[in-house]
């Protein structure tokens, strides 16, 4: 008689958690920081087509690390949730808190019922009319939600980068200062000895800009990003209404569409 195969629930959940954490740790880090006029997102991402940072709705953005196809499916679901809720009720009814709760339910269900958990970690952020109204939510592979204050780091060397930011980040810093700090932290070698050179071509940077009337999301690329990161002018900030910022969603009320069917997987 064949003995039935049994794994305790505790061991099963531990194995799934270890599997997800290892997958997330292989990805390059993403840093989300509050600054004096909004929330900044900085990721090490040399791809110009596969984004880790995206707009969800008027004043809400999404950042993720892990398996590209999995977090892209979550992003698209978030866009659809926000569009439907905003159309059915009112645009002000779409909040980062509601979106984070929806993501938490999805991630929690997948983690407990599916054989393989999502290898993703995401941040949902909403910029308020004042700094006290900013919201940053971090969601892990098992659906856990944390309300973060000031900054959050995901993927890669998250613990090491978080430790460095906790010593140097302060409320009210300018955009140029927080971007320089984030890039410096991302460029650190995992061993802690020395740092790499990270150019603008290897970075994906975006902001939720508080002063914008409705759509606060804005990508920073090209000469503007180089100017913000230039060591000769550490006090420079984002010029209002500068079209060179590379806002690739201008004129698109849905903030993003379905991913291409043949989109390759990336971490």
CA 73 to chain centre: 14
Which residues span the domain enclosing 171? Answer: 9-245
In a domain? residue 214: yes
In a domain? residue 260: no
Q: Please give the sequence-ordered ranges of beta strands (E in DSSP) within the chain, or none if there are none.
A: 30-35, 38-44, 53-57, 60-66, 120-126, 135-139, 145-148, 151-154, 203-209, 217-220
pLDDT at 204 over 90: yes
Are 32 and 64 within 8 A, CB to CB?
A: no
In a domain? residue 251: no
Distance CA 27, CA 93 (A): 33
3-state DSSP percent of the chain in helix, strand and coil, to 5: 35, 20, 40
Give the chain's length. Answer: 267
Are 65 and 156 within 8 A, CB to CB?
A: yes
Which tokens hold the place of 9? Answer: 């629930």
Distance CA 136, CA 114 (A): 28
More confident residue, 244 or 34: 34
In a domain? residue 22: yes
Count structural domains, the chain. 1
Which CATH number do you get for residue 160?
A: 3.60.20.10
Are 165 and 151 within 8 A, CB to CB?
A: yes
In a domain? residue 253: no
Per residue in 83-97, pLDDT (tens digit) is: 999 999 999 999 999
Question: Given this model, what pLDDT does residue 27 score?
Answer: 86
In a domain? residue 217: yes
What would the mean pLDDT of 122-150 be, rounded to a whole number?
Answer: 95
Question: Given this model, what pLDDT does residue 193 score?
Answer: 63
What would the mean pLDDT of 168-183 be, rounded to a whole number?
Answer: 95
Highest mean pLDDT (candidates 1-15, 55-69, 152-166, 176-190): 55-69
Question: Given this model, what pLDDT does residue 234 score?
Answer: 44
pLDDT at 194 over 70: no
- In percent, the amount of the chain with pLDDT more than 70 equals 83
In a domain? residue 161: yes
Tell me the whole-structure pTM to 2 decimals: 0.83
In a domain? residue 70: yes
């Amino acid at each position: 008689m064949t003995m039935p195969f049994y794994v305790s629930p505790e061991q099963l959940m531990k194995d799934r958690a270890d599997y997800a954490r290892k997958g997330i740790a292989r990805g390059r880090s993403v840093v989300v920081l509050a600054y004096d006029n909004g929330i900044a997102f900085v990721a090490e991402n040399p791809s110009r087509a596969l984004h880790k940072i995206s707009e969800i709705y008027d004043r809400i953005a999404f950042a993720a690390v892990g398996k590209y196809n999995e977090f892209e499916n979550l992003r698209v679901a978030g866009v659809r949730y926000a569009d439907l809720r905003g159309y059915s009720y009112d645009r002000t009814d779409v909040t980062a808190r509601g979106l984070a709760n929806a993501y938490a339910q999805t991630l929690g269900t997948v983690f407990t019922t599916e054989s393989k958990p999502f290898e993703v970690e995401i941040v949902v952020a909403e910029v308020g009319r004042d700094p006290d109204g900013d919201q940053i939510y971090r969601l892990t592979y098992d659906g856990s939600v944390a309300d973060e204050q000031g900054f959050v780091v995901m993927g890669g060397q998250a613990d090491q980068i978080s430790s460095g930011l906790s010593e140097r980040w302060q409320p009210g810093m300018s955009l140029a200062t927080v971007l320089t700090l984030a890039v410096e932290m991302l460029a650190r070698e995992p061993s802690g000895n020395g740092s790499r050179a990270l150019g603008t071509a290897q970075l994906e940077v975006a902001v939720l800009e508080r002063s914008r009337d409705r759509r606060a999301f804005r990508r920073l690329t090209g000469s503007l990003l180089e100017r913000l990161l230039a060591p000769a002018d550490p006090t420079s900030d984002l010029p209002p209404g500068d079209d060179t910022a590379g806002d690739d969603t201008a004129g698109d009320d849905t903030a993003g569409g379905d991913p291409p069917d043949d989109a390759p997987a990336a971490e």
